[in-house]
Chains A and B, each alone.
Chain A
Amino acid sequence: MKVMNCPLNGPRNISEFAWGGEVKPMPDPASLDDHAWGDWLFLENNEAGVVREWWCHVPTSFWFIAERNTVTDEILKTYPAGELFKDRVNFAAKAEKK
C-alpha cells in the first residue's frame, strides 16, 4: 500500500484518501456553449505522465492537490489547494448575462 503525504496530517496510508479527479478549474459556465460545457464536464485528459489531482484525506475531510507520475507510480508533491486557488471566485448575476 502506498503512502501519501497529506499537507495537513503528514504521511498516511493511501487507503485513508479519496481521489477527487483531475484539477481542471471550472470555466465560467455562462460563457460556454452547451457542447463545450459537456466536454469540460465529462472529458478527462487521462495523462500518461505527471498529473495534478484532487485528493481528500477522508478522516479529516481535508482537500489538497497532489502531483504524481502515473507511469512510474510516484507521488511527486502534495500541497494545500490554497497554493493554486488564491482568490475568491465570483459569478456574474444572471441579469448581466448577454
Chain B
Amino acid sequence: MAGMNRLPAPFGTWIDRTEKISFTFEGKEIEGFAGDTIASALLANGQTMISRSFKYHRPRSVLTMAGQDSNTLVQVGDEPNCLADKRRIEPGLAVEGQNYVGSFEDDKGRFTELVERFLPVGFYYRTFHEQKKSWKAWEPIIRRMAGLGKADLKADFHHSYYDKQYLFADVAVIGGGPAGMAAALGAAEGGAEVILVDEGAEPGGSLWYARFNFDGTHGSLTRAELAAAINGRRNIRVLSNAVCTGLFADNWLPVIKDNRLYKLRAKSVVVATGSIEQPSVFRNNDLPGVMFASAAQRLIRLYGVKPGSRAVILAANDDAYGAALEMLDAGIPVAAMVDLRADVPNTEMTQAVRRAGVEIIAGHAIQEAIAGPGKTRITGAVAAPVAGDGKLGNGGRNLACDLILMSVGYSPAAHLLHHAGTKFAYDTSSHMYRPDSVPAHVFAAGSVNQAYALDAVLADGRRAGWLAARDAGYSSGAEPPAPADLGCDGVTHPWPIFPHDKGMDFVDFDEDLKYKDLINGIADGFDNVELLKRYSTVGMGPSQGKHSAVAAVRIVARETGESLNRMSVTTQRPPYTPEKFAHMAGRVFEPERRTAMHHRHLELGAQMMPAGVWWRPAYYGQKSARDQAIRDEVNAVRSNVGLIDVSTLGGLDVRGPDAAELLNRMYTFAYAKQQIGRCRYVLMTDNAGVITDDGVAVRFHDEHFYVTATTSGVDAVYRQMLWWNAQWRLDVDVANVTAAYAGVNIAGPKSREVLKRVCEGVDLSAQAFPYMGAATAEVAGIPARIMRVGFVGELGYEIHVPASQGEALWDALMAAGGQEGISPFGVEAQRVLRLEKGHIIVSQDTDGLTSVWEADMAWAVAKTKPFFVGGRSAEIQAKKPLTRKLVGFTLANDGDPCPEECHLVLQGEEIVGRVTSAVRSPSLNKVVGLAYVHPSDGEPGKQFEIKVDGGRRITGVVTKYPFYDPDNKRQEM
C-alpha cells in the first residue's frame, strides 16, 4: 500500500488513490498517489527527515506544507532546491536530500553543531573583513559545508521547454482563498474581466483544510458555494497551481505556472495572499515533527497523511483548537493543549476540545522538543509555566509525543504589498503589522488585510473586488460596507519566544540562526533591524523572512527598547518564491534577418557571419581554405568581375520640397545643388561633432533622395532624422526602406559587360553613366535603382531592387556573368578591397569620439552651409590642436607580422593611438592599414611604433592612401 501513515477517504481531497506513482528518495523506492507532493508521499511512508539544514546540517522536515519554507528543499535529478512540499510526484522521479557529507542518514556535517560557538553571528564579517587571506584557507571548507543544493556542472545540460505568455485583466486577484474568491466575485459582478491566481490545485485556500466551526462544515460549505459561483461566471478565469512572484510598476505581475511565465498586466489588483503562520521559538523547534498546525491540517485534509501518531499542540488562539479537533477526527491522539494564555477563552472550539477530554495546560509554553536518536524525530515536549514575556518558570512537564503543532499567530503574507510600496503599521491590539497606505490601483483583502473571522474575510474580499472593479472602470450597485469586526484580535501572541540556555532555539530556519545569534548581533552594534538582517543574515534565506522577520523585529524592539510602532519588518523584495532562470529566459528568441539571396549563398557554400541581426556571407568555400578563398575573391574583383549581396545596407527614401534641406542639415556635405541622377557621399556627425554614420545620397528627383546608411547604423540615422525634424517642422517625409530593397554590387573591370547583357533602358557607357552616376532602369526585367559607386575601388554598380526580386536579380547576374566566370564575394573580401582603397568603416575606423578632423575628412565638410548637426562643435574642435590623427600605414619591414585591430600605437611608453584596420593586401602584396597616431607623426613617411601580440614592437610608416590605384582611375573607367 502507498504508505503506512495514509488516512482513508474523505481525507486526502487532492490525491487520486486509483493512480499509484513510484519514485525514489535517496535510492529507496517510495510509492505515493497522483496528487501527492514529494513531502506528503515521504511522510505517508514514514520518512520523516526530508532535508538537512544550511549550517548545522540538522535534520529538517515539513514546516508549512505550503512551499513557504526552505526546510524541505530537495534535489530532484539534476535540479537542486526543489520545494518537496509543493513539487508533485511523477513516476521515476529521483529525489535526494541536500546538504550532507557522507550519507543523508549519517551526515558527518552534523557535527558542525558541536563547534557552533566558534561560528558566531557575523562569522564572515568578523573573520574575513580584515584578514582577507584567511578566506583562502576557509573557502574550500565553507563551500563544501554551506550552501543549498548542488548545481551539477558536469550534468548533461539540455534545453527544457519554458515559455512566456502575456495576459491581460481588468482585475487580477492574487490568492484563491476565501478572500480572493469573494473578491473575484465582487469584481466580476461589476462586469470586470477577472483573473484569479491561486497556488493551490483548486481555489479554496484554508477552506480546504482549516476549521471554521467545531464540526468543520462551515469551511467546506462556504468553499463549495464560492466555487459554484465562480464557475458560473464567464468573466472569471482561474489560474490554479500558479504563483504570482512579484507586483511591479503599473500592476505588472509575473505568474509562474508549470513551465510558463505569464506576464499579467491588470488595471487593478486585489492582493488576497492571506497570512503566514509564525513559529514559536524554543529548543529544537526545527526538528522533524515540529510543524505549524496548518501544515498538519493540510497533510490530513489535502493528502490524507497522518503527520504523527501523538500530538502536543502549542496554542495561543482558537485555530489551535480547530487543529486539535482535526487530529482527533483523523485518529491522532492529542496528548495536551499547551496554551500560552493563562485564561483560555470559552469558545465553540475550546469547548469542543474540552468535551473531547483533551487536557488543556493553560499558561504554559513549550520549553524544548526532546530529540530522538540522530535528531531525525522527536520523542516528547517539555511544557513549562510562562513566568513573563519569554521567561519560563520551574515545574516543567514532559509530554510524550512525536508531533508538536504550533498555532501561536500569524503575519500577513504581505510580499506583494511590499513590492507595490505599501506602508505597514504595527497594530498594538492584534500584535500584527497591517497595511497602512496601499498604493493606487492595489487593494488588500482578507487576512493580509487583518480580516480573520470568516464572515469578515468574505465581506472584505467582496468589498475589495468591488473597489478594484470600480478602479478599472466598472461599477454596479452600492459600495459594499467594510466588515465591522475583523476578528484579528486574539489570533497572534505578542511574544511566543522562549530562549533556552542550551540553545538550538531557532529564529531563522533557513540560515540556522538561534535566539542568541540575534542577541549577539545586536550587542555587536547592529541594533537596527535592517542592519541586523545584513549582519546576521536573518531573513535572507530562500524563504525571505516569512517566518523570521517578525520575530527579529520583536527581538530588536525589546533589546533596544524601541517601540514596534516605530519599526517595520524588513522590506520583502521580489520574488515571493524562488524563481528559476529557465522561467526568466523562456524560449530564447534571437531574431535574425536574412537577405533575399540567403539560400543562394548557402548553395554556393558560403560561410555566414552575423552583421547586427543580419546574416551575411563572410566568404565562399571551406573553412580550411578560408584565406585562399578570400584572396581569390579579391583577385576576381580586381581582375575580372565579382558579385556581392549588399541588401543589409540601410536605405532611406527622403521625399518632399525640403528633402535637400533636410540632408543639408543632417549631413556634413552640401546637397542643395546636387544634380538629379548623381550620387554624393554622406557623412553624419552628432551634435558633439562625432562621426556617427556614412553612406551615399542619390538624387532621383528634385524632391526625392535615396540615402544609404550603414547596416548597423540605419535605424539610429532614421530615428535621428525624425527627431530633428520633429523640431524643425520641414516639409519632408522620411521612410526607412531598408527591408523593402535587396541589393547587390557587381564590381570589377568586366562588370559593365556583364550588366549590359541584362540591363535595359539605360546607357551604361562611361560617358552616359559616369562614376557617381545613378539611374532607374530594368535589370533582367526587374525595376532597379542603379548607382555607380565604388566602395571596393573598381568599376562597379550597386543595383537595388524590391526585396521580393532579390533572388531573381542574383540569379540573372550570376547567369549573365557565366562566361566571365563571375565570382560571388563576401564581407571579408570586401573589407580587404575597401582597405586597399583606404575607405573607412564608421565604428571600426572611428569610435565614440572621432571628429571629422581626426579622421582626415575635412574634404567632406561643406563650410559655407548655414547649419548642419555637429557643425558648431566641429568649428570648436577645429580650433583646438588634434590629439590624434587617422592615417594610412604600411610596415617598415614588410616581413613583420600584420598588426591586428586595436594593437597599440606608442610613442616611447605612452599610448598615443591604435590600429583600426590592417590586412596583407593580395593586390599590393604588402601590409596596409589604418591607425590613429600622434599628430606629430601624421605626415607621410613618418614612422611610429606598433605593439603587436606578445609585446613585440614593429615599425609602421605613415603612407598616403588610397594604397591601391591612388588616382582612382579604375573606378572611373
Residues of A within 8 A of B (CB): 1-3, 18, 20, 25-26, 29-30, 32, 34, 37-38, 41-42, 54, 56, 61-63, 73, 81-82, 85-89, 91-95
A37-B727 contact in complex given A1-B250, A2-B249, A61-B736, C-beta closer than 8 Å: no
B730-748 residues with Cβ-Cβ distance < 8 A to A are 730-731, 736
Minimum distance in angstroms from B876 CB to a CB of chain A: 5
> B688 near A56 (CB under 8 angstroms)?
no
B815-868 residues with Cβ-Cβ distance < 8 A to A are 864-867
Query: Which residues from A are CB-within-8-Å of B218?
Result: none
> A1 near B249 (CB under 8 angstroms)?
yes
9-residue interface stretch from B403-411, B716-724, B913-921: B716-724
Minimum distance in angstroms from A5 CB to a CB of chain B: 11
Q: List 25 A-B contacts (CB under 8 A).
A: A1-B249, A1-B252, A3-B250, A26-B727, A29-B871, A29-B872, A30-B867, A30-B872, A34-B876, A37-B872, A37-B873, A41-B873, A56-B722, A56-B723, A61-B718, A61-B719, A63-B726, A81-B727, A85-B728, A87-B729, A88-B728, A89-B729, A91-B665, A91-B866, A92-B866
> Mask for B239-255, Cβ within 8 A of A = 1, else 0?
00000000011101000
Query: Which residues from B are CB-within-8-Å of A73?
Result: 249
Q: Which of A2, A20, A38, A89 contacts B728 (CB 8 A)?
A: A89
Query: Which residues from B are CB-within-8-Å of A62?
Result: 722
CA–CA, A39 to B164, complex, Å? Answer: 46
In the complex, the 5 A-B pairs of residues with the closest C-beta atoms, listed nearest first? A29-B872, A91-B867, A91-B866, A81-B726, A2-B249
Q: Could you list 18 further interchain pairs (A-B, Cβ under 8 angstroms) beyond the known A88-B729, A93-B866?
A: A1-B248, A1-B249, A3-B265, A26-B727, A29-B872, A30-B867, A37-B873, A38-B876, A56-B719, A63-B719, A81-B726, A81-B727, A85-B726, A86-B729, A88-B731, A89-B727, A89-B729, A94-B866
A85-B729 contact in complex given A91-B866, A94-B864, C-beta closer than 8 Å: yes
Minimum distance in angstroms from A27 CB to a CB of chain B: 10
Query: Which residues from A are CB-within-8-Å of B726?
Result: 63, 81-82, 85
Query: Which residues from A are CB-within-8-Å of B866?
Result: 30, 91-94
CA–CA, A69 to B123, complex, Å? Answer: 43
> B876 near A85 (CB under 8 angstroms)?
no
Asked whether any CB of chain A lies closer than 8 Å to the CB of B217, the reply is no
> Mask for B790-818, Cβ within 8 A of A = 1, else 0?
00000000000000000000000000000
> B722 near A61 (CB under 8 angstroms)?
yes
CA–CA, A56 to B718, complex, Å? Answer: 12
Query: Which residues from A are CB-within-8-Å of B722?
Result: 56, 61-63
Asked whether any CB of chain A lies closer than 8 Å to the CB of B687, the reply is yes
- Smallest CB gap from A32: residue in B: B872
- Smallest CB gap from A75: residue in B: B250
Minimum distance in angstroms from A22 CB to a CB of chain B: 13
> B873 near A20 (CB under 8 angstroms)?
no
Query: Which residues from A are CB-within-8-Å of B250?
Result: 1-3
> B723 near A54 (CB under 8 angstroms)?
yes
- Smallest CB gap from B718: residue in A: A61
CA–CA, A27 to B729, complex, Å? Answer: 16
B683-735 residues with Cβ-Cβ distance < 8 A to A are 687-688, 718-719, 722-723, 726-731
CA–CA, A41 to B876, complex, Å? Answer: 13
Query: Which residues from A are CB-within-8-Å of B727?
Result: 25-26, 81, 85, 89
Query: Which residues from B are CB-within-8-Å of A61?
Result: 718-719, 722, 736
- Smallest CB gap from B664: residue in A: A91
Q: Which of B249, B688, B723, B871 contacts A63 (CB 8 A)?
A: B723
- Smallest CB gap from B166: residue in A: A13
CA–CA, A88 to B727, complex, Å? Answer: 8
Report which residue of B250, B726, B730, B736 has the largest number of chain A beta carbons within 10 angstroms of its beta carbon. B726
- Smallest CB gap from A21: residue in B: B723
> B730 near A88 (CB under 8 angstroms)?
yes
> A37 near B876 (CB under 8 angstroms)?
yes
Minimum distance in angstroms from B661 CB to a CB of chain A: 9
Query: Which residues from A are CB-within-8-Å of B876?
Result: 34, 37-38
> B719 near A41 (CB under 8 angstroms)?
no
CA–CA, A26 to B872, complex, Å? Answer: 12
Query: Which residues from B are CB-within-8-Å of A1?
Result: 248-250, 252
Minimum distance in angstroms from A34 CB to a CB of chain B: 5
Minimum distance in angstroms from A89 CB to a CB of chain B: 4
- Smallest CB gap from A23: residue in B: B727
Minimum distance in angstroms from B164 CB to a CB of chain A: 13
CA–CA, A66 to B233, complex, Å? Answer: 40
Query: Which residues from B are CB-within-8-Å of A29?
Result: 867, 871-872
Minimum distance in angstroms from B825 CB to a CB of chain A: 33
> A20 near B729 (CB under 8 angstroms)?
no
CA–CA, A92 to B864, complex, Å? Answer: 11
CA–CA, A88 to B730, complex, Å? Answer: 6
Query: Which residues from B are CB-within-8-Å of A54?
Result: 723
Query: Which residues from B are CB-within-8-Å of A26?
Result: 687, 727
Report which residue of B248, B688, B728 has the largest number of chain A beta carbons within 10 angstroms of its beta carbon. B728
B873-898 residues with Cβ-Cβ distance < 8 A to A are 873, 876, 879
Minimum distance in angstroms from B108 CB to a CB of chain A: 48
CA–CA, A18 to B718, complex, Å? Answer: 14
Minimum distance in angstroms from B250 CB to a CB of chain A: 4
CA–CA, A61 to B726, complex, Å? Answer: 11
Minimum distance in angstroms from B726 CB to a CB of chain A: 4
Query: Which residues from B are CB-within-8-Å of A3?
Result: 250, 265
Query: Which residues from A are CB-within-8-Å of B688?
Result: 41-42
- Smallest CB gap from A89: residue in B: B728
CA–CA, A95 to B864, complex, Å? Answer: 8
Minimum distance in angstroms from B255 CB to a CB of chain A: 14
CA–CA, A1 to B265, complex, Å? Answer: 9
- Smallest CB gap from B716: residue in A: A18
Minimum distance in angstroms from A93 CB to a CB of chain B: 5
Query: Which residues from A are CB-within-8-Å of B265?
Result: 3
Minimum distance in angstroms from B717 CB to a CB of chain A: 11
- Smallest CB gap from B686: residue in A: A41
Query: Which residues from A are CB-within-8-Å of B879?
Result: 34
CA–CA, A37 to B871, complex, Å? Answer: 12
Minimum distance in angstroms from A19 CB to a CB of chain B: 12
CA–CA, A54 to B719, complex, Å? Answer: 12
Q: Which of A20, A32, A86, A92 contacts B723 (CB 8 A)?
A: A20
- Smallest CB gap from A64: residue in B: B726
CA–CA, A55 to B873, complex, Å? Answer: 25
Minimum distance in angstroms from A33 CB to a CB of chain B: 10
Query: Which residues from B are CB-within-8-Å of A85?
Result: 726-729
- Smallest CB gap from B736: residue in A: A61
Query: Which residues from A are CB-within-8-Å of B867?
Result: 29-30, 91
CA–CA, A81 to B727, complex, Å? Answer: 7
CA–CA, A29 to B297, complex, Å? Answer: 77
CA–CA, A37 to B873, complex, Å? Answer: 8
CA–CA, A2 to B250, complex, Å? Answer: 5
- Smallest CB gap from A28: residue in B: B867
- Smallest CB gap from B440: residue in A: A74
> Mask for B246-283, Cβ within 8 A of A = 1, else 0?
00111010000000000001000000000000000000
Query: Which residues from A are CB-within-8-Å of B665?
Result: 91
CA–CA, A70 to B446, complex, Å? Answer: 34
B645-699 residues with Cβ-Cβ distance < 8 A to A are 665, 687-688
- Smallest CB gap from B254: residue in A: A1
> A94 near B872 (CB under 8 angstroms)?
no
Query: Which residues from A are CB-within-8-Å of B731?
Result: 88
CA–CA, A73 to B248, complex, Å? Answer: 12
Query: Which residues from A are CB-within-8-Å of B729?
Result: 82, 85-89
CA–CA, A91 to B872, complex, Å? Answer: 12
Query: Which residues from B are CB-within-8-Å of A63?
Result: 719, 722-723, 726
Query: Which residues from A are CB-within-8-Å of B864?
Result: 94-95
Query: Which residues from B are CB-within-8-Å of A38?
Result: 876
- Smallest CB gap from A38: residue in B: B876
Minimum distance in angstroms from B376 CB to a CB of chain A: 47
Minimum distance in angstroms from A42 CB to a CB of chain B: 8
Report which residue of B722, B723, B872 has the largest number of chain A beta carbons within 10 angstroms of its beta carbon. B872
CA–CA, A63 to B718, complex, Å? Answer: 12
Query: Which residues from B are CB-within-8-Å of A95?
Result: 864
